[in-house]
């Protein structure tokens, strides 16, 4: 970075006037009388060296450090303004006071115009005037030099910085442009100054620049932006622009100045970075989505695995059941025939105890046969013949099948059937088996009597309800918005122990006393409901008792 | 009243004995047991039954095969065959199963049910001999 101008930075040499140098005066005067007079007027304060001609004067000035030159314009070897011009050309660093006669005052004034510090008219000098003129000339030259240095400093700054710099007046006319900017526009400074943006840029762009300038002048604030320039056939360029107002000595805004530079590389870097960030964010999102998909797949996989295990269990139980059924039924057939033989062999009135024994044996046979039948139902190949059926009618006929059982247990039946239900899609006999099983279970739950409520209704499934319930083994899925037929069978019994609730559909699982249930009723029911693409669910009711909910599809599905 | 000749073919000796004792006590039937499925046809030709009770699953052969050969043999024309099976489910049993014109009775069958089914079959056979009601009998047996 350039240092600010100072005395110390000035080049050393004759021009580097010290106080003692300043006191040394080179008097170039051919008239001995005038030389004597001037020396006398300067007095002891100045050391005067007098030479009679220009040539000697130029040589003397080169020899040693003078603070000032008093130059007579009319010398034997040079006359008039040319004398000054010659000397100044060779020693521009020295302050020059020109001297003239009365009749040459005009020439002297011209010398001042060309760079002499002042002029003195011979014959009109006095000591005070001369002293003041000498000192003032020295001082003024020093200030001039400082100013020139300062100017050179700032010019160097403005011209050598790798930025484009300009100034404009209030009307948007250029008052200055640095070399770089001139090169950019392909014009000389003279061609630029006095013109506006409209002379160099497309109208749209020029209007924008002027609007920016107006804003800067109106607000008096720094304006900073990154402009995007597109040149035909070239890539987009980005330019950082800073504009500030220019104030006069009174603080009034008199124009604008601006500096701009190419930041294309930086902007492209930022864009790349931004894109990289966005890509990264997207990759992260993709990754999270993939992870979520994986987790979902994993849980589905686990669910499917559990279902397969469950199904395999069921299948092997089914195969086993068929085998057992055959092997057990043959001995049962023998016992049955045997019991019948005894029953017919004994006259009725003969022995009441024997008849009781035979009756108990027949009941036991019937029970054993029932279990085996259940096993066969369970293992029977899964096929249903689905036809439209009236749900309420099926329930009424199922209730009729268990009416004796309900009556003997003093159970009150309440029905809440929704009329005008669309037909259900059912295998009549199989679904009746499900209903009878559920009704019979409800009756078994109320050995001391109670109320059995059978309810039907139609409902549109919410997305939540359409989801398979956790752990449910469903071979199909309901759709949200699907209209389904719901049957609820409520009892006021003891309910199902909460820890047993998720096992009730398992084969051979029963909460009933020995001999009261086969442990296959709900297993078979679930299988039948699944063949209907429906759902069956058991839950405890808050005030006590349990509810069996059977969801079936309507014909329209 | 003429006693009907009943052949029971089942590999379960205790079962055929029980059926024989039960039926003979009614005095309405003469019963012959055959526990060897492979001898079933020979025994039948020799015994000339009015009705055959046939187990479905037996070692070496099965009831279906024996029934097919009986049906194909002119000597047994019009002799009803009733299957006794341990592989009928509750619903099938409740509805009464007819397959290819045969009645299937589920084991364990009660004596009352067995006798009723036999009498029905024998009565249908009598009608067929009269060449009357063959179609009705077929319909009752579920034959298309």
Does A332 sit within 8 Å of B57, measured CB to CB? Answer: no
Residues 6+ apart with CB under 8 A from B28: B1, B3, B4
| Bridging pattern class, strands A483-490 and A450-460 | antiparallel
Q: How many CB atoms sit inside 10 A of residue A260's CB?
A: 19
pLDDT for res A325? 76
Q: What is the CATH classification number for the domain harbouring A338?
A: 1.10.287
pLDDT for res A14? 43
Find the radius of gyration of the CA atoms of chain A: 60
pLDDT for res B140? 38
The beta-carbon neighbor of B107 closest among A333, A370, A374 is A333
Positions of E strands within A268-410: 387-389
B132 or B15: which leads in pLDDT: B15
A404 and A542 belong to one structural domain: yes
pLDDT for res A318? 67
**DSSP code at position A341:** H
pLDDT for res B144? 31
Query: Which residue among A244, A262, A280 closes a domain?
Result: A262
The answer to whether B107 contacts chain A (CB < 8 Å) is yes
Does B87 sit within 8 Å of A322, measured CB to CB? Answer: yes
Does A341 sit within 8 Å of B18, measured CB to CB? Answer: yes
The answer to whether B87 contacts chain A (CB < 8 Å) is yes
CB A496 within 8 A of CB A537: no
A178 and A249 belong to one structural domain: yes
A545 and A409 belong to one structural domain: yes
- Residues 318..347 of A with a Cβ closer than 8 Å to B: which? 322, 325-326, 329-330, 332-338, 340-341, 344-345
Query: Which residue among A319, A345, A376 closes a domain?
Result: A376
Does A333 sit within 8 Å of B12, measured CB to CB? Answer: yes
Residue A1 resides in a domain? no
Query: A219: part of which helix (H) or strand (E)?
Result: helix A203-219
Instruction: Kindly list the domain boundaries of chain B, sorted by start residue.
Output: 4-140
A197 or B101: which leads in pLDDT: A197
Nearest CA in chain A to B112: A340
Cβ-based contacts of B106 with chain A (< 8 Å): 329
Average pLDDT over all residues of chain B = 79
Nearest CA in chain A to B15: A334
A370 and A388 belong to one structural domain: no
What's the domain count of chain A?
4
Structure confidence by residue, pLDDT tens digits, B28-83: 999 999 999 889 999 999 999 999 999 877 777 777 788 888 888 888 888 999 98
CB A451 within 8 A of CB A414: yes
pLDDT for res A504? 76
Does A345 sit within 8 Å of B108, measured CB to CB? Answer: no
Nearest CA in chain A to B19: A337
Structure confidence by residue, pLDDT tens digits, A175-206: 999 999 999 889 999 999 999 999 998 898 89
Assigned token pair, A495: 């309910």
A238 and A282 belong to one structural domain: no
Does B90 sit within 8 Å of A337, measured CB to CB? Answer: no
The answer to whether B71 contacts chain A (CB < 8 Å) is no
How far does A345 lie from chain B, in Å, by closest CA? 9
The beta-carbon neighbor of B86 closest among A325, A370, A380 is A325
The answer to whether B59 contacts chain A (CB < 8 Å) is no
- Residue B109's nearest CA partner among A372, A364, A335, A380 is A335
Say if residue B108 is preceded by a cis peptide, omega within 30 of 0.
yes
A141 and A228 belong to one structural domain: no
| Bridging pattern class, strands A47-51 and A223-229 | unpaired
In sign, the C-alpha dihedral spanning A45, A48, A54, A58 is negative
pLDDT for res A303? 78
How far does B93 lie from chain A, in Å, by closest CA? 9
Cβ-based contacts of B14 with chain A (< 8 Å): 334
Cβ-based contacts of A518 with chain B (< 8 Å): none
A527 and A417 belong to one structural domain: yes
A29 and A145 belong to one structural domain: yes
Does B21 sit within 8 Å of A333, measured CB to CB? Answer: no
Q: What is the CATH classification number for the domain harbouring A543?
A: 3.30.565.10
Residue A2 resides in a domain? no
Query: Which residue among A157, A172, A188 closes a domain?
Result: A157
How far does A373 lie from chain B, in Å, by closest CA? 5
Burial of A341 (0-12, 13-18, 19+ CB in 10 A): middle
pLDDT for res A453? 93
How far does B89 lie from chain A, in Å, by closest CA? 5
A146 and A189 belong to one structural domain: no
Q: Which CATH class is domain B4-140?
A: alpha beta
Does A341 sit within 8 Å of B21, measured CB to CB? Answer: yes
Structure confidence by residue, pLDDT tens digits, A230-242: 766 777 888 999 9
A531 and A400 belong to one structural domain: yes
Does A326 sit within 8 Å of B57, measured CB to CB? Answer: yes
Dump the DSSP string for A122-158.
TTS--HHHHHHHHHHHHHHHHHHHHHHHHHHHHHHHH
A87 and A14 belong to one structural domain: yes
The answer to whether B62 contacts chain A (CB < 8 Å) is no
Q: What is the CATH classification number for the domain harbouring A165?
A: 3.30.450.20
Does B90 sit within 8 Å of A373, measured CB to CB? Answer: yes
Assigned token pair, B65: 């095969």
Rounded Cα distance between A350 and A479, Å, is 67
Residues A102-117 as b/e (b if ≥16 CB within 10 A, e otherwise) read eebeebbebbeeeebb
Predicted-complex ipTM score: 0.77
Cβ-based contacts of B86 with chain A (< 8 Å): 325-326, 329-330, 333
CB A539 within 8 A of CB A501: yes
The beta-carbon neighbor of B108 closest among A365, A376, A433 is A365
| Domain boundaries, position A214 | 161-262
For A465, the 3-state DSSP assignment is: helix
Rounded Cα distance between A506 and A294, Å, is 31
The answer to whether B91 contacts chain A (CB < 8 Å) is yes
Please list the ranges in chain A whose pLDDT falls under 50. Answer: 1-19, 470-471, 514-515
A369 and A405 belong to one structural domain: no
């Amino acid at each position: 970075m350039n240092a600010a101008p100072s005395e110390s930075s000035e080049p050393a040499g004759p021009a580097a006037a010290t106080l003692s140098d300043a006191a040394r005066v080179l008097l170039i005067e051919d008239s001995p009388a005038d030389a004597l007079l001037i020396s006398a007027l300067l007095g002891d304060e100045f050391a005067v060296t007098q030479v009679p001609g220009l040539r000697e004067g130029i040589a003397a000035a080169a020899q040693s450090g003078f603070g000032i030159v008093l130059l007579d314009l009319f010398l034997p070897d040079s006359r008039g303004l040319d004398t000054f011009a010659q000397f100044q050309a060779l020693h521009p660093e020295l302050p020059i006071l020109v001297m003239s006669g009365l009749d040459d005052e005009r020439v002297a004034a011209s010398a001042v115009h060309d760079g002499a510090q002042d002029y003195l008219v011979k014959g009109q000098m006095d000591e005070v005037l001369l002293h003041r003129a000498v000192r003032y000339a020295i001082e003024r030259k020093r200030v001039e030099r400082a100013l020139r240095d300062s100017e050179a400093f700032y010019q160097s700054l403005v011209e050598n910085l790798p930025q484009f710099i300009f100034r404009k007046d209030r009307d948007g006319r250029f008052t200055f442009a640095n070399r770089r900017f001139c090169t950019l526009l392909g014009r000389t400074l003279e061609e630029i100054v006095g013109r506006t943006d409209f002379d160099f840029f497309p109208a749209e762009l020029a209007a924008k620049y002027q609007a920016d300038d107006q804003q800067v002048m109106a607000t008096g604030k720094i304006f900073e932006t990154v402009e995007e320039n597109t040149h035909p056939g070239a890539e987009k360029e980005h330019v950082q622009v800073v504009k500030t107002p220019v104030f006069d000595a009174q603080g009034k805004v008199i124009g604008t100045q601006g500096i701009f530079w190419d930041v294309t590389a930086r902007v492209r870097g930022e864009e790349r970075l931004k894109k990289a960030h966005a890509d990264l964010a997207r990759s992260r999102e993709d990754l999270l989505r993939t992870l979520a998909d994986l987790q979902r797949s994993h849980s589905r996989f686990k669910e499917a695995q559990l279902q397969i295990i469950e199904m395999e269990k069921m299948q092997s139980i089914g195969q086993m059941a068929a085998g057992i059924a055959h092997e057990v039924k043959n001995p049962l057939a023998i016992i049955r025939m045997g019991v019948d033989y005894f029953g017919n062999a004994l006259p009725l009135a003969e022995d009441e105890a024997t008849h009781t024994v035979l009756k108990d044996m027949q009941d036991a046979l019937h029970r054993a046969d029932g279990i085996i039948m259940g096993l066969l139902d369970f293992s029977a190949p899964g096929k249903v013949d689905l036809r439209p059926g009236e749900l309420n009618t099926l329930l009424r006929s199922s209730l009729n099948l268990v009416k004796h059982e309900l009556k003997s247990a003093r159970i009150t039946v309440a029905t809440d059937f929704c009329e005008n239900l669309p037909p259900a899609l059912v295998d009549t006999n199989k679904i009746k088996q499900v209903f009878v099983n559920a009704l019979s279970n409800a009756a078994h739950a109320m050995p001391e009597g109670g109320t059995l409520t059978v309810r039907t209704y139609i409902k549109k499934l919410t997305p939540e309800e359409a989801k398979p319930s956790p752990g449910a083994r469903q071979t199909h899925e309901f759709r949200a918005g699907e209209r389904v037929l719901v049957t609820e069978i409520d009892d006021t019994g003891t309910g199902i122990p909460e820890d047993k609730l998720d096992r009730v559909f398992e084969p051979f699982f029963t909460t009933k006393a020995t001999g009261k249930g086969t442990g296959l009723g709900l297993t078979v029911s679930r299988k039948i409901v699944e063949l209907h693409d429906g759902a069956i669910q058991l839950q405890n009711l808050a005030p006590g008792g349990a509810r069996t909910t059977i969801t079936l599809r309507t014909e329209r599905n | 009243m003429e006693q009907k000749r009943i052949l029971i073919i089942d590999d379960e000796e205790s079962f055929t004995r029980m059926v024989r004792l039960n039926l003979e006590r009614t005095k309405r039937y003469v019963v012959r047991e055959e526990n060897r499925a492979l001898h079933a046809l020979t025994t039948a030709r020799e015994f000339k039954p009015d009705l055959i009770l046939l187990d479905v699953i037996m070692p070496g052969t099965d009831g279906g095969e024996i029934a097919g050969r009986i049906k194909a043999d002119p000597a047994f024309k019009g002799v009803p065959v009733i299957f006794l099976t341990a592989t009928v489910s509750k619903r099938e049993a409740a509805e009464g199963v007819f397959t290819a014109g045969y009645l299937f009775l589920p084991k364990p069958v009660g004596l009352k049910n067995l006798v009723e089914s036999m009498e029905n079959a024998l009565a249908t056979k009598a009608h067929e001999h009269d060449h009357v009601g063959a179609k009705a009998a077929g319909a009752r047996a579920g034959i298309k």
